[in-house]
């Protein structure tokens, strides 16, 4: 078996966290994130994922009005309390935050990754920004991001990324065993999207799928909560419901992954590499 189709040798424990954040108050939200890391560590979690723009809230006008104040980066000292808790508990975290490129000045909706040692490890920029996000001044990212933790390859996504099957499939074809998404899904249509898209992405790619969603009011939305993890066959594994703060904690099992991928060989079937045949178009009269 080649490296991209290799399975992890043992399980890991992940969590999707949710809590009401405070609009544009980065220190306060870092403290909330740090508390969620501690709660996760008490449950034996190796990696915690937090919602989209969690460190500022989904406050697009406020962020774009003062990007120097609200755009974070890898060396931002405001992240130090979160980094310290990660190092103390040996828990990695993926935290949603706005970022600003120092050279171009472009704003991004990003996921900042701190490792088990608390050090900055990676940044992923949302590739599928919504029309309203682009109109507000946020630029789409240009590349995907795969994390590796204890042999598990973990693909990152942010909210609307998950609505594009190609985004999760790109992660799976890069050898990812799980697809981790921080998001802002509100009540009503957002709740429907959350309940529909994520099991589909799991089944599409025989991958674990995790959603960390806002559970309180943020910007124009009221988050529907229900952060969750789905099995590689699309069935729900754990759901945080409307708890605030809340965690959806799950053990990712390589044996479950192997069984699902043996039953549904969507990542290794020869049809994946079949040529793109021409299509016929027929009008019925």
Per the domain annotation, does 74 fall within a domain? yes
**Residue 243 located in a structural domain:** yes
CATH code of the domain containing 231: 3.60.110.10
Across the chain, the runs of DSSP E, i.e. the strands, are 12-18, 47-49, 92-100, 107-114, 120-125, 146-149, 152-158, 178-183, 208-213, 217-218, 221-222, 228-230, 236-239, 246-252
The answer, yes or no, to whether residue 270 has pLDDT greater than 80, is no
Q: Per the domain annotation, does 95 fall within a domain? A: yes
- What is the DSSP pairing of strand 92-100 with strand 236-239? unpaired
pTM of the predicted model, to two decimals? 0.96
Number of folded domains that form the chain: 1
Residue 152: inside a domain: yes
Residue 228 pLDDT > 60: yes
> What average pLDDT does this structure show over 169-193?
96
pLDDT(1) > 70: no
Indicate whether 285 belongs to any domain. Answer: no
Report if residue 219 sits inside a domain.
Answer: yes
278 pLDDT more than 90 = no
pLDDT number for residue 3: 66
| Domain range for 221 | 10-273
Q: Which pLDDT score, from 0 to 100, does residue 273 have? A: 75
175 located within any domain: yes
């Amino acid at each position: 078996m080649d490296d991209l189709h290799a399975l992890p040798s043992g399980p890991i424990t992940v969590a999707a966290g949710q809590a009401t954040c405070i609009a544009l108050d980065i220190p306060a939200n870092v403290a909330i994130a740090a508390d969620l890391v501690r709660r996760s560590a008490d449950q034996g979690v190796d990696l915690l994922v937090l919602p989209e723009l969690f460190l500022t809230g989904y406050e697009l006008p406020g962020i774009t009005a003062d990007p120097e104040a609200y755009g974070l980066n890898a060396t931002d000292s405001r992240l130090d309390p979160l980094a310290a808790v990660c190092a103390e508990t040996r828990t990695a975290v993926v935290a949603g935050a706005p970022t600003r490129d120092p050279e171009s000045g472009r704003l991004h909706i990003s996921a900042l990754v701190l490792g088990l040692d608390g050090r900055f490890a990676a940044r992923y920029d949302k590739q599928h920004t919504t029309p309203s996000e682009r109109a507000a001044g946020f630029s789409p990212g240009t590349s995907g991001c795969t994390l590796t933790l204890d042999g598990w390859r973990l693909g990152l996504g942010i909210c609307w990324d998950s609505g594009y099957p190609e985004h999760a499939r790109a992660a799976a074809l890069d050898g990812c065993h799980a697809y981790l998404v921080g998001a802002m899904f509100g009540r009503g249509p957002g709740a429907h999207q959350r309940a529909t898209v994520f099991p589909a992405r799991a089944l599409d790619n025989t991958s674990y799928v995790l959603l960390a969603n806002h559970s309180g009011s943020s910007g124009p939305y009221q988050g529907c909560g229900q952060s969750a993890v789905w099995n590689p066959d699309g069935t729900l594994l754990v759901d945080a419901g409307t708890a605030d703060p809340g965690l959806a904690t799950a053990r990712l099992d390589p044996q479950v992954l192997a069984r699902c991928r043996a039953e549904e060989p969507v990542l290794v079937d020869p049809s994946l590499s079949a040529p793109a045949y021409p299509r016929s178009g027929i009008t019925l009269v």
